[in-house]
Amino acid sequence: MNINTNYENLEQSYLFSTIAKKVNEYISNNPDKKVIRLGIGDVTLPLCKAVTEALHKAVDEMGVQSTFRGYGPEQGYDFLREAVQGYYKKHNVELELDEIFISDGAKSDLGNILDLFAKDNTVLVPDPVYPVYVDTNVMAGREVKFVDANGDNEFLPGVNDVEKGVFPDIIYICSPNNPTGAVYNKEQLKSWVDYALENKSVILFDSAYECFISDKNLPRSIYEIEGAKDCAIEFCSLSKTAGFTGTRCGYTIVPKNLGKLNKMWVRRQTTKFNGVPYIVQRAAEAVFTDEGQKEIGENIAYYKENAKLISDTLKECGIWHVGGKHSPYIWLRCPNNMKSWEFFDYLLNNAQVVGTPGAGFGRNGEGYFRLTSFGSKENTIEAMSRFKKLFK
């Protein structure tokens, strides 16, 4: 037996364990201080009523002989694929049912999709970004090239930022971005689509945070851009949209225009995946009903209010940042030229606020810091008043 030695090339990620260790140490030395966590990447509001009602109903169906369901279609039940199709239609994107694949979340499919690509493909990943893109490629033995996201391009790297001589076959784009919260506009995305078409590359577009976009002019799906169906696969998730981080459901769009890829993905899924539970798919279907959309809209509005509060406070304090408008994430430049971890310690010790050091998301994250709006309103208000005391 020989192991996959590519795993030895993975960077050890100490980010969240180091944060937990530092916070726990601080709390045990300062038991009287209230620590506020604005670093969490998980939702905190519960599932909405439309979803829990659908879950209960589906559970009951599973206990009755005539409505019991066993194995379902690997690509997802038609009732949910139709709901996803209808959702896209609202944004003027027409999809065929067999281009929609129901998944147990975006993370799995972002990794699984790599089964379809040859090992010698060149991969282009923005830096900083959600670490899964890099790690899944390293596990497969693929070399990863980076395109710099930084203050100069407002953390939205464009085709002109790609290093000369690099010709990517696979291009990752995450918009709204984790960790920066930056969102591409249509023009910027169009230039990536044109670039991919010209170079015969595929774009892997991660739209896990699309529901946070409230400006109608900003694209929520890459398929709002002409030509994207000829070059892009899109990954989306109900995790942040509808609080499904623990319930697990998402969807992946593989257009038929992408030649063999759609058929290959069907083959891959029918071989290695047995579908998302019926009860979860019924819950997901409820998200797309009018009632579901209204209820999840209220939850998203709650998080976005927190994000606005954070962004407004940073503005008042003169701290440079992006995100927070169409995203649950706020990405700030550490005040006084502090390094990411230095700022982490400073904030913990002086304001008892916990965030995530940007250096943990890539080389260009050094000197930056991520705050999230997934905390409670009360805690966010309190944390921001502590910010003002320190920085205003």
Q: Which residues here bind ligand PLP, judged by CB under 6 A?
A: 41, 105-107, 130, 174, 178, 206, 208, 237, 239, 245, 250
- To ligand PLP, the closest distance from the beta carbon of 176 in angstroms equals 9
Which residue's CB is nearer to ligand PLP, number 107 or number 386? 107
Q: How many Å apart are CA 141 and CA 161, to the nearest integer? A: 25
- To ligand PLP, the closest distance from the beta carbon of 166 in angstroms equals 23
**Separation in Å, CA 43 to CA 13, 249, 374:** 22, 15, 5
Alpha-helical (H) ranges within 207-289 are 239-242, 261-272, 278-287
Which residue's CB is nearer to ligand PLP, number 181 or number 335? 181
Which residue's CB is nearer to ligand PLP, number 153 or number 245? 245
Cα 346 off chain centre by: 28
- To ligand PLP, the closest distance from the beta carbon of 56 in angstroms equals 23
Helices (H) and strands (E) in the chain, counts: 12, 13
Q: What φ, ψ does residue 182 adopt, rounded to 5°? A: -75, 145
- To ligand PLP, the closest distance from the beta carbon of 321 in angstroms equals 18
Q: How many Å apart are CA 263 and CA 204, to the nearest integer? A: 17
- To ligand PLP, the closest distance from the beta carbon of 314 in angstroms equals 21
Helix (H/G/I), strand (E/B), else coil: 265: helix
Which residue's CB is nearer to ligand PLP, number 134 or number 319? 134
Which residue's CB is nearer to ligand PLP, number 109 or number 295? 109
Q: How many Å apart are CA 150 and CA 164, to the nearest integer? A: 18
**Amino acid identity, residue 63?**
G
Neighbours of 45 (CB within 10 A): 15
Q: Which residue has the tokens 């129901």?
A: 102
Which residue's CB is nearer to ligand PLP, number 112 or number 257? 112
